[in-house]
Amino acid sequence: MIPYGKQDITQEDIDSVIKILKSDFLTQGPAVPHFEKSLCNFSGSEYAIAMNSCTSALHVACLSLDLKAGDIVWTSPISFVASANCALYCGASVDFVDVDPNTALISIDALKSKLIDAKQQGKLPKIVIPVHFAGQSCDMKEINKLGKEFNFKIIEDAAHAIGGKYFDKNIGCCYYSDITIFSFHPVKIITTGEGGAALTNNKYLAERMRLLRSHGITRDKKQMVNDNCMGWYYEQISLGFNYRMTDLHAAIGISQLNRIDQYLEKRFEIAKWYDDKFKNISVNPLVQQKGNKSSYHLYVIRVKKGEAERNNLYNFLVDNGISANLHYIPIYRQPFFKQNIRLSGAEEYYKSAISLPIFPSLSQEKLEKIVNKVSIFCNYD
């Protein structure tokens, strides 16, 4: 079975883990700060806080912006549930902004309209979390402009998007947002086994997130209540969590980040090859917006006849040894959320989308098989 995504682990990655295993630190050693500095250098942000998952990073990001009960977060319905759950962890409520079905990104027109209505009702969001779907950035200039007009904070959910660009800026530089979140799950652009990071240019937010990821404990004398100079002394000054990344995971991340340009180049190459082939097949790849350079975490095509055709294509591909996937079921459809809404753009996208395999080690032979099977299905259908 050809998987839709797959990690690439090299001897360098293995050696980096062995080196940590033979060192004095398995956790809370020098590898995590090294990885964080590397992320800053790569993305252009001032601060990076590595954590044990992208979900943890989203949670801590919300808390650092003082999200609490009574507050509202808006995000995309076309995302993994963590993009919404992070608000619920803080006691806040969550609502969804419709997407453009051609890109699966938050629709700026839908966002503007929703903000105008919410202002009249006194229900504006405290935080908006745009999701950079499949590796492509949302229109952050417009979202930033609306943030200033309607007074909301912005967390970029860039779980898919490390290595992507928005015009001349790296995704993760936080030029248009308060915080950006990356994921290092095994199917992402680079992996740490499991892990995530929050990036920001705001020193206060960085300090808050560092506290929150490690039980709210500090050894920084400037933050302590009591003046104790003993080396063993620490204080818990807030309620935090154990969201720390280990040195083992960070070591893999450092090694993988050294190869990210190779990974991105291969993903661009595969995506371009798919684009060229699908010009003559009756499916539509996601539209790439002007000024964007996607990192192509996912490669999504959309069928033209709706949900039944999508389901048939999915089954046909799986029956032929191709592990296609669907990203994502609209979050509001999940039973837990108990939301009776249906957003037209999200529904149109959901009923037509299939994610095809894309990862650096995907061979030309397997690529040709994938396109051949899609072509056979479309001609037969």
Average pLDDT over residues 156-167: 98
Pull the structure tokens for residue 268: 């661009």
Supply the range of the domain harboring residue 71.
11-257
DSSP string, 49-113: EEES-HHHHHHHHHHHTT--TT-EEEE-SSS-THHHHHHHHTT-EEEE--EETTTTEEPHHHHHH
Using a cut of 0.85, tell me whether the model's pTM lies above it. yes
Q: Are residues 190 and 309 in the same domain?
A: no
Q: Are residues 118 and 20 in the same domain?
A: yes
* Residues in contact with 289: Cβ distance below 8 Å, sequence separation at least 6, in sequence order: 103, 105, 136, 137, 139
> What pLDDT, on a 0 to 100 scale, did the predictor assign at position 270?
98
3 located within any domain: no
Q: Are residues 60 and 201 in the same domain?
A: yes
pLDDT band at residue 229 using 50, 70 and 90 as cut-offs: confident
Tell me how many domains the chain contains: 2
4 located within any domain: no
Q: Are residues 132 and 273 in the same domain?
A: no
Q: Are residues 171 and 320 in the same domain?
A: no
Is the model's pLDDT at 170 over the cut of 70?
yes
Question: 262 and 360 in contact (C-beta within 8 Å)?
Answer: yes
Distance from C-alpha of 316 to C-alpha of 65, rounded to nearest angstrom: 46
147: left (phi over 0), alpha (psi -120 to 50) or beta: alpha
**Span 35-47, pLDDT tens digits:** 999 999 999 999 9
Q: Are residues 290 and 350 in the same domain?
A: yes
Q: Are residues 30 and 112 in the same domain?
A: yes
Average pLDDT over residues 3-14: 97
155 located within any domain: yes
pLDDT band at residue 227 using 50, 70 and 90 as cut-offs: confident
Is the model's pLDDT at 381 over the cut of 60?
no
Short-list 123, 146, 169, 360, CA closest to 265: 360
End-to-end, the C-alpha distance of the chain in Å comes to 23
Q: In what side-by-side order are the strands of the sheet with 292-293?
A: 169-170, 165-166, 292-293
